[in-house]
Every structure is written in C-alpha cells, then in structure tokens.
Amino acid sequence: MYFQRVWEWSHDSTILSNNELGRELETGINDDGFLLGDSGYPCKPWLMTPLPETSSRAEEKYNSSHCRTRNTVERAFGLLKSRFRCLHKSTGCLPFSPTRCSHVIMAAFKLHNFCLDLKLPNPPEVDADTFQVDQDACQDQQEGRQIRRQLIEQYFST
C-alpha cells in the first residue's frame, strides 16, 4: 500500500511538517507552548531542541531539563508500544491509510489509559527506538535558536 510505504520510511520531522499540527505551528495558527524534539529536528520558534554544546550552567540546566522531559515522554511511548505490539517498529508498520492508522493509535491510547485506571501491571518494555542524531540541525534556524536562548535566560539562569 502506498501510504504504508510513505510513512514507514519517513523521519519523524518529515511527518511532523506534513501534518495538520505541523502546519498550524509553522504558520502560527497554534502558538500555545512548545514542542520538544531531539537533535534530529530543526530548532524552530515552536520546536525546542537541545543545545549541541553547552557553555554555561544555565545551558546545562536547559539541556538536562529538556532531556528529562523527553525521556518521560519516550518511556510513555515505549510502554504503549510494549502493550500494543502492532505499534512497535519490530512488527513492520500498520497496513492502513494514515487516517486509519491515527484511529488505531488513538484507540491504543484510550485502551492504555483504561489499563492504567484499572491499575493493571505494565508489560515488559521492548527496546527503545533509536534516533538519528544530527548535531547541525539548528544551524540555519536562527529564530528558533533566539527563542531557545530567551527560554534559557528566563527559566534556567538562576
């Protein structure tokens, strides 16, 4: 199926830039907060990435906070993929259109939350996905880098 192949071989940043949320953030329609991305993403005004190198305690604190927050999210996704193996990359990919895949994923989120409400035991975690790291991802994203600098000065300098 064509859709299957497009999404299976696309990097997360490509998928983000080609969906409604990515378009809303890029055009400024949705400006309520920030997304966090790893260094494989470009640094943008709405997408904060870690600094490739730190030169102050504030920058170290920013990177540490960024990492801890992303790790929490990654662990949650890892648990979801462990509970619903059809979402894990080891099973290939969902053989549906992107719209139907989003419905399957939303159903998995709801069922997972139901399991949490019932205090069911967590499944054993599968290996975490690895991320493509691009240390130069932020080089041409001046505005995003300026906003990241302001965040570091405002929230991490003390």
Task: Quote the longest CA-to-CA distance of the chain.
Answer: 53
Average pLDDT over residues 81-109: 84
Please state the pTM of the whole predicted model. 0.66
Tell me what pLDDT residue 60 has.
94
Residue type, 130: T
Domain boundaries, the chain: 34-94+133-155
Report whether 46 contacts 34 (CB < 8 A).
yes
Residue 151 structure tokens: 């965040």
Residue 116 confidence class, pLDDT cut points 50, 70, 90: very high
Question: Residue 131 and residue 49: Cα distance in Å, rounded?
Answer: 13
Question: Residue 114 and residue 147: Cα distance in Å, rounded?
Answer: 38
